[in-house]
A = this chain, B = another copy of it.
Amino acid sequence: MAREDLYDDPVFFQRYSQMDRSREGLAGAGEWEALEPLLPDLRGKRMLDLGCGYGWHCVWAAEHGASAVTGVDLSERMLAVAREKSAAFPQIVYLRSAIEDVSFPPESFDLVFSSLALHYLSSFQAFLALVRSCLRPGGDLVFSVEHPVFTAAGPQEWIYGLDGTPLPFPVDRYFDEGQRTARFLDAPVVKYHRTLTTYLDGLLTGGFRLLRVVEPQPPQRLLDRPGMRDELRRPMMLLVAARLETGAAERRTR
């Protein structure tokens, strides 16, 4: 099942809604302590959130002074929840669309943000072109994405010993970029593996200055949750903060 349908599948959506990060929001997301310091001061800023899901980050931005927040997601079920959570914030607007299909006038935003959505996109270059087309020069791009170590082999599973304990995490097909099918919440999910080079050198050679590159570790307060200690054994996410260089913005051609 592709990203397009998955989050509108009632069974999958029900399972997703039971996850810590769905029930508890940012406090239930193990990476939030590492991600928050990468975000710029949002007071008076215009933010675009690509793959906004339940809208947790849109609400956070509005609470921290953002003057206008645009959340984009493909799932109507996700956006229904997001709209409900955002009722008190008229500066938040939600848009139902695939990330690949949106376009905005030049310099529409001061910050483009994306949480754990880019590994669903087939082209990181196309994503960067989208950002350059609508972010103001000097504006920020902050995103989290599944780590290339986590996406390389495909199944996103530990190797298990005969007694059921996880052995080392397998890396394979690292330089073979493209589709992988993993299981998430008991459903097959299509994701795209890319190397670190594609992400980081893609930014550096694509008009962006890197500000921060962080692989988050689970915070102490969550270490006793099931599986969390194993997250110290492999990097699962990559957090990046970058800035669009002056002169690098482009009109999108599509």
Contacts and interface: CB of A to CB of B under 8 A. Distances in A.
Nearest to A235: B174
A234 interface: yes
A232 B176 contact: yes
Given A168-B153, A171-B149, A234-B172, A212 B204 contact: yes
A81 interface: no
A205 B211 CA distance: 8
Contacts of A212: 201, 204-205
Interface in A139-176: 149, 152-153, 159, 167-176
B170 A172 contact: no
List the number of copies, as a whole number: 2
Given A168-B170, A171-B169, A214 B232 contact: no
A19 interface: no
| Most B CB within 10 A of own CB, among A170, A176, A211, A213 | A213
Contacts of A209: 209
A196 interface: yes
A17 interface: no
B211 A204 contact: yes
What size tier do the contact residues of chain A reach? 20 to 34
A150 to B, nearest CB: 9
Contacts of A167: 170, 172
A147 to B, nearest CB: 9
Interface in A24-45: none
Contacts of A153: 168
A236 to B, nearest CB: 9
A233 interface: yes
Given A172-B234, A201-B214, A204-B210, 8 more contacts: A149-B174, A169-B171, A171-B171, A173-B233, A174-B234, A195-B235, A200-B200, A204-B212
> What 8 A-B pairs have minimum CB-CB distances, sorted nearest first?
A168-B170, A168-B172, A200-B213, A169-B171, A175-B232, A197-B215, A210-B210, A201-B213
15 contacts: A149-B174, A153-B168, A168-B172, A169-B172, A171-B171, A171-B233, A171-B234, A174-B235, A175-B217, A175-B235, A195-B235, A196-B235, A200-B210, A201-B213, A209-B209
Interface of A: 149, 152-153, 159, 167-176, 195-197, 200-201, 204-205, 209-215, 217, 232-235
